[in-house]
Structure 1
Amino acid sequence: MFSNSRVSFQFVTILIYITVVCVSQVNSHWWSLATKTLLVGSSSVEQCDNELGFSHSQRQLCRTYANHMKYVKDGAENGIKECKYQFRLNRWNCSTAVNDITVFGKVLKIGSKETAFTYAVAAAGVVVSVAQACKNGLLQECGCSRAPRPQGISSSWNWGGCGDDTDYAYGFAKEFIDARERDTNPSNKSKHKARKEMNLRNNEAGRLVAVRSSEPTCKCHGVSGSCNVRTCWMKLSGFREIGNKLKSKYNSAIEVVAKKRGRRQLDFTPRKRSDVITPTSLVYLESSPDYCVKNRRTGVKGTKGRECNVDSNGPDGCGLMCCGRGYRVVHKQIVEKCNCRFQWCCTVICDQCPSNVKRYVCK
């Protein structure tokens, strides 16, 4: 009797363990690395096996390229920060879920245009972070860009310097980020296969937008800054500019319908005939949920309590942000620096001046 009970208990324990791990792997995401503290040294390799946000292939890549994980983490952090900035005035403000290994919560389960943006901006973040690490000599596997002289650069100028290594960064980001989708074995349901393809396409769009933001940058040489001689190289745009481009892609994101091509292949067809899918297009499968009201099932937090701009007609205006529910006025006292003056030498001294301000908060 005891023996059977013990076997049953062990079986249940193993079953629970498998269920927890499998569910965590399906629902987690690699960009949860942004919320964790990385270990240094040999223990950093061991950490690869403990990251629930990594798929099987990503754990293997992590062990091989353990020194890259800091820059994957930095890229994920920058992507999340940029997402929050770009959507700070929208009903969905790229809110993150505390202590959630999916970072953004249940809302990512919906194949919406917002989900498309998060995949793209995170992928772009890794490209930029790794490319700059290469340039700065922080990764032994790569270095300065080997990009040829682009058209438009005078042949009299020196082409060299040390550019951002976007070729290596793109290749690594593609291998690491897409590994999660490659490890996913969707059921025969075309919906699951379509979502996998959607993720891959938006990953690629983010990487390409980042890589294509590279522009020639030159440094002048010559007597008294005459710029008789220039040395030029390729440099990535600032991440804010990349974020702006991706937000523009979000605004023109294309809703698609998945159609089978053969037994395993899927093709995406724009729902609107006038839309044309390009390599940098963000694509989505489902309409966005109602971000107005809190919904535990979808993970939507709603806009109740959000601050709005009473003078704006845009998405941050109280009419749109509050979804017609109205708003309340909140009086706050803030303290700001004022009456600043220079004191020899060499400090600036300011007074602390209180003032009353109005804030408008959605009901």
Structure 2
Amino acid sequence: VDIVMKKCSLTSLDCRLIVIFCNVSLYRSLAMNPLLIPEAYIIGAQPLCSQLAGLSQGQKKLCQLYQDHMQYIGEGAKTGIKECQYQFRNRRWNCSTVDNSSVFGRVMQIGSRETAFTYAISAAGVVNAVSRACREGELSSCGCSRAARPKDLPRDWLWGGCGDNLNYGYRFSKEFVDAREREKTYQKGSHESARLLMNLHNNEAGRRAVSDLAHVSCKCHGVSGSCSLKTCWLQLADFRKVGDALKEKYDSATIMKLNPRGKLVQVNNKFNAPTSNDLIYIDQSPDYCVSNESTGSLGTTGRLCNKTSEGMDGCELMCCGRGYDQYKAQVVERCHCKFHWCCYVKCKRCTKIVDQFVCK
């Protein structure tokens, strides 16, 4: 709480802790208990964990025990949402948020490959945010990374700079994000049980993407930059690389089904079995071409498209063969940029008229 209050004045009416919980499994119960982007208003310096809609009992307990973590869980989830929207910006389903309470809407009730991606990227976002918060000294229960020295690191290089605490971030994300799934009760062999296994698998795939892309970073020391000594530490990759990696996993995701023993197996055995790093799904994706309230599809009517592209952002594919309208639009952009010594670039703002194409 002390850490939260350093960032927030008790006298400020706007003082609030934004918590977007990355446990996208909350999307399953959107109709009755939607995944909110909850706000824990600070009253008497106590976040109201018990009043955060959508939390399971286990998550409420973790919220009370680790109140200073909640801000970073929220930041990680927001990072995951933004990355999802970047990765799918040129797709029929563009990871749009639909209102202030349900984030991605009813699409998440379907165990599709899009849902698989959102679970993975959200879990990855929390690992990323919590690991870095540890390094920055923002959390009371962790600090810099204590990862073991890599065996291939040259002997004369020092190991132990303040690295991102991936081990802690990974473990906390697993405990918090998976808590809701572990607490569910279901009938063995049901679709709900398959969905639970799918959710847990994709949460883990997201965490592993962050872990696999972490790397050793080093800094030189020495007189006049001679680099006679190097200090090295563990550093997380830029989150865009995590998004790129999970997008590739999305493109090659495997459809699964329950076997009589209650385990998920491949529908098509001709391909290699998915590993813990791969994404899996159990339902076919809905038709994202047209608006459908029952599935949550927003359709592509009104979406911008690229007339000259033959890819998914092209008007033919984006508009699903319905055609498109062309109109003139005024665009403001930076122009006539000049570099000023020493350290900044100054630009003017120019206005131009461009052709834009919108799906019918």
Q: CA deviation at 1:133?
A: 0.5
The partner residue of 1:320 within 307, 317, 322 is 317
**1:87 aligned residue:** 88
Q: CA offsets per residue over residues 188-220 of structure 1, 9 Å max, x none?
A: 552110000000000011011111211000010
**2:39 aligned residue:** 37
Structure 2 counterpart of 1:184, one-letter code: K
The partner residue of 1:334 within 321, 331, 347 is 331
**1:28 aligned residue:** 34
Superposition RMSD in Å: 2.4
Name the SS for the 1:260 alignment partner: coil
Q: CA deviation at 1:103?
A: 1.4
Distance 1:272 1:93, change over 3 A: farther
Q: CA deviation at 1:300?
A: 0.4
Structure 1 counterpart of 2:272, one-letter code: D
Q: CA deviation at 1:260?
A: 3.1
Q: CA deviation at 1:350?
A: 5.8
**1:303 aligned residue:** 300
Superposed counterparts of 1:122-161, under 5 Å: 122-161=122-161
1:115 aligns with 2:154: no
Q: CA deviation at 1:72?
A: 0.5
- Please say if residues 38 and 52 of structure 2, whose CA atoms lie closer than 8 Å, have aligned partners that are also in contact: no
**1:175 aligned residue:** 175
Q: CA deviation at 1:276?
A: 1.9
Q: CA offsets per residue over residues 315-349 of structure 1, 9 Å max, x none?
A: 10111100011111011123344455689999977
Q: CA offsets per residue over residues 2-47 of structure 1, 9 Å max, x none?
A: xxxxxxxxxxxxxxxxxxxx96696433xx3xx34343475543x2
- Please say if residues 134 and 165 of structure 1, whose CA atoms lie closer than 8 Å, have aligned partners that are also in contact: yes
Q: CA offsets per residue over residues 234-270 of structure 1, 9 Å max, x none?
A: 1000111111111111111111111132xxx423335
Structure 2 counterpart of 1:67, one-letter code: D
TM-score, length of structure 2 as denominator length = 0.86
Count of equivalent residues: 333
Q: CA offsets per residue over residues 78-132 of structure 1, 9 Å max, x none?
A: 00000000000000000112122x3111000100000000000000000000000
- Please say if residues 205 and 279 of structure 1, whose CA atoms lie closer than 8 Å, have aligned partners that are also in contact: yes
Superposed counterparts of 1:13-92, under 5 Å: 27-29=33-35, 32=36, 35-40=37-42, 42-45=44-47, 47-92=48-93
- Please say if residues 218 and 230 of structure 1, whose CA atoms lie closer than 8 Å, have aligned partners that are also in contact: yes
Q: CA deviation at 1:151?
A: 3.1
Q: CA deviation at 1:60?
A: 1.2
Name the SS for the 2:220 alignment partner: strand
Distance 1:189 1:343, change over 3 A: closer
Distance 1:345 1:181, change over 3 A: closer
Task: Pick the structure with greater CA Rg.
Answer: 1
- Please say if residues 145 and 164 of structure 1, whose CA atoms lie closer than 8 Å, have aligned partners that are also in contact: yes
Alpha-carbon distance in 1 for matches of 2:145, 2:335: 48
1:285 aligns with 2:315: no
- Please say if residues 38 and 70 of structure 1, whose CA atoms lie closer than 8 Å, have aligned partners that are also in contact: no
- Please say if residues 256 and 284 of structure 1, whose CA atoms lie closer than 8 Å, have aligned partners that are also in contact: yes
Distance 1:119 1:280, change over 3 A: same
Superposed counterparts of 1:217-296, under 5 Å: 217-261=217-261, 265-296=262-293
Structure 1 counterpart of 2:301, one-letter code: K
Q: CA offsets per residue over residues 53-98 of structure 1, 9 Å max, x none?
A: 2111111111111111001000110000000000000000001121
**2:351 aligned residue:** 354
Q: CA deviation at 1:146?
A: 1.1
Q: What are the ranges of 5 or more consecutive residues in structure 2 without an aligned counterpart? A: 1-27
Alpha-carbon distance in 2 for matches of 1:236, 1:165: 9
Distance 1:357 1:222, change over 3 A: same
Alpha-carbon distance in 2 for matches of 1:120, 1:344: 44
Distance 1:115 1:80, change over 3 A: same
Alpha-carbon distance in 1 for matches of 2:250, 2:344: 46
Alpha-carbon distance in 1 for matches of 2:76, 2:284: 28
Q: CA deviation at 1:177?
A: 0.4
Q: CA deviation at 1:281?
A: 0.7
Higher helix fraction (1 or 2) = 1
Distance 1:273 1:26, change over 3 A: farther
- Please say if residues 161 and 233 of structure 2, whose CA atoms lie closer than 8 Å, have aligned partners that are also in contact: yes
Alpha-carbon distance in 2 for matches of 1:273, 1:27: 39
Alpha-carbon distance in 2 for matches of 1:24, 1:316: 30
Name the SS for the 2:259 alignment partner: strand
